[in-house]
Amino acid sequence: MRRLVPLVLLAVLAAGCFGGGSHKVAVHKVKPGKPQGVVVVTEKDGSLDPKNVTLPKAGVYRFQAVNAGKHAHALAITGPGGVSLKTAKLKPGQSTTIDVKISKPGSYHYYSPVDGDRKKGMEGVAVLSG
């Protein structure tokens, strides 16, 4: 019986660590609280929707990547002030979020960095006016 308890505990821990469902990836630490806004980016094979986003004011924005394609994709965001973030690869049907601190006016480019997706049209831009 004593040998069985550690095995059951190990099985429960493994199920919790490797269970299914969507994964949220926090790749950039920001102050806790509600984001300024949410930008939902739908990734299909060869396109991102929306292509253009206007951000009303500086702050933390939550980018939600939704893979609606048949292949793996990810979401990367680069912009002024050294912004450079990306999600893990998403299998078809998965989604994830990343919080991005948008503090400087300019263009913040988002795209899928997987297997040449960007060259195939999977890119967009979020603009914060000064």
Domain range annotation of the chain: 21-128
Nearest Cα residue to 107 out of 71, 53, 39, 43: 53
Residue 129, H or E segment: none
126 forms beta bridges with 53, 108
Among 3.40.50.9100, 2.60.40.420, 3.20.20.80, 2.60.40.10, name the CATH number for the domain at 21-128: 2.60.40.420
Q: Above 50 in pLDDT, residue 3?
A: no
pLDDT in tens, 81-113: 999 999 999 999 999 999 999 999 999 999 999
Percentage of the chain modeled with pLDDT above 90: 72
Measured distance CA(46)–CA(19) in Å, rounded: 30
CA triple 33-38-42, angle to 5 deg = 145
